[in-house]
Amino acid sequence: MITKTFLFAGRTVNRMGYGAMQLAGPGVFGPPKNHDTAIAVLREAVANGVNHIDTSDFYGPHVTNRLIREALHPYPDDLVIVTKVGAMRGDDGSWNPATSPDELRRGVEDNLANLGLDAIDVVNLRVMMPGATDVGLAAEGSIGRMFEPLAELRQRGLIRHLGLSNVTSAQVAEARAIAPVVCVQNQYNIALRRDDALVDALAAAGIAYVPFFPLGGFSPIQSEGLAAIADEVGATRMQLALAWLLHRSPNILLIPGTSSVEHLRQNLAAATLSLDDELLGRLDAIGRAKG
């Protein structure tokens, strides 16, 4: 029996949330393929109990936040909107670091304006360390100079809570010495398990862990073992991968993204899957085999 909710940013949220990144155009750049469908997806998510939405003003850029505002503003009282700063998009769609104090402040101000908010529930610092070999994997290095400007904006009341994205355990500790951290958003899924120890440490501290690319992202998880178990339980591979994450630890909050109402419904249905110890052991073995 999994816990359905988690106390996050001072509110009780359903652990199955929604990530808005895929509402932007191809490559997370430009407008959506279908504007009306994007609005429908957001409204369907909230209508089905989603009260945790992940976004950023560099999705598009500016696209997903404006869609969220159009679809949902004025926002439900229980809705927690989480955004992130620390990057900007080039004219060619490239992802570039934006971590100077002025860039971080402008990032927060853009999120506020496009979401139509006076204060943002949670802002994650998205870390892109120089020399990192993979933009989706954390690399060591001090993040204090990036995190301190956000802590100051929190003191000014523009941000209610702070989080981190794409960080190591050492960087989490460094940030927590500056200001409270309510969530960590890193790449993690059934096949990519580098953060196992961090998930457990954050759970002990009452901090949410939010996997990005819970289904593999731009390279969806491919596993014969996962497909076979999914057939046994009458679910899709992706539903099973999401259900495994919900069983993995009670502090894991999911934000699978989609631009399809039908796919959204399939993702939400993963929260109803109950996995026994034998199935969980077989699923755990998939991650160990890939590790």
For 240-254, write each residue's pLDDT tens digit: 999 999 999 999 999
Q: Residue 2: pLDDT above 90?
A: no
What average pLDDT score do residues 256-276 get?
96
For position 57, which CATH number holds? Answer: 3.20.20.100
Question: pLDDT for 201-228, tens place per residue?
Answer: 999 999 999 999 887 766 667 777 888 8
End-to-end CA distance of the chain: 27
Q: What is the pLDDT of residue 289?
A: 63
Q: What is the domain range of residue 268?
A: 5-290
Catalytic residue among 18, 59, 75, 188: 59
For residue 75, the model assigns a pLDDT of: 98
Q: Is 59 tagged catalytic?
A: yes
Q: Is the pTM of this model over 0.85?
A: yes
Q: Cβ–Cβ contacts within 10 Å for residue 174, how many?
A: 17
Q: What is the pLDDT of residues 198-208, one digit of tens each?
A: 999 999 999 99
**pLDDT reported for residue 133:** 54
Per-residue model confidence (pLDDT) at position 23: 98
pLDDT at 129: 87
Strand, helix or coil for residue 257: strand
CA nearest to 117, candidates 64, 147, 159: 159
Distance in angstroms (rounded) separating the CA atoms of residues 255 and 119: 21
Nearest Cα to 110, choosing from 96, 120, 95, 100?
A: 120
**pLDDT of the residue at 181:** 98
CB contact burial 202-217 (16+ within 10 A = b; e otherwise): bbeeebbbbbbbbbbe
pLDDT in tens, 129-174: 876 656 678 999 999 999 999 999 999 999 999 999 999 999 999 9
Q: Please count the structural domains in the chain.
A: 1
**Model pLDDT for residues 14-66, shown as the tens digit of each residue:** 999 999 999 999 999 999 999 999 999 999 999 999 999 999 999 999 999 99
For 63-121, write each residue's pLDDT tens digit.
Answer: 999 999 999 999 999 999 999 999 999 999 999 999 999 999 999 999 999 999 999 99
